[in-house]
Amino acid sequence: MAKKKMQTICGFSCTDCNYLEKECPGCEAKKGKVFWTAYVGADCCPVYDCCVNDRRLPHCGKCPDLVCERYTRFKDPNVSEEVAAKGLVERVQELRNRK
């Protein structure tokens, strides 16, 4: 049986992340204070902070400003620009399809 997809506020699937359960229990469990923020000089994921803490939204798909600079600022340095752009389109579509 397939593992249930762990959705995040930004549309990324924690289930697809190589760090899930090794270094990170997921965005919701950490309230946006995930492992990678240490590498960018932040205490909390800026997208999570904006969406959940500032705007009090369930996910970015409910935000009238999607796609914003904060949403597009960070990308995995291990992927090409083309792969990052494709992932961005997929995440935005995922968010807009949520109820």
State the pLDDT confidence band at 3, using cuts at 50, 70 and 90: low
Q: What is the pLDDT of residues 64-94, one digit of tens each?
A: 999 999 888 887 778 888 998 998 999 999 8
Query: Chain centroid to CA 47: how far?
Result: 7
H-helix or E-strand containing 85? helix 81-97
Q: What is the mean pLDDT of residues 31-52?
A: 91
Note whether 11 and 61 are within 8 A (CB).
Answer: yes
Average pLDDT score over residue span 51-66: 94
Instruction: Give me the phi and psi of 13, to 5 degrees please.
Output: -100, 115
Q: What is the pLDDT of residues 12-29, one digit of tens each?
A: 888 878 888 888 888 888
Can you give the pLDDT at residue 99? Answer: 66
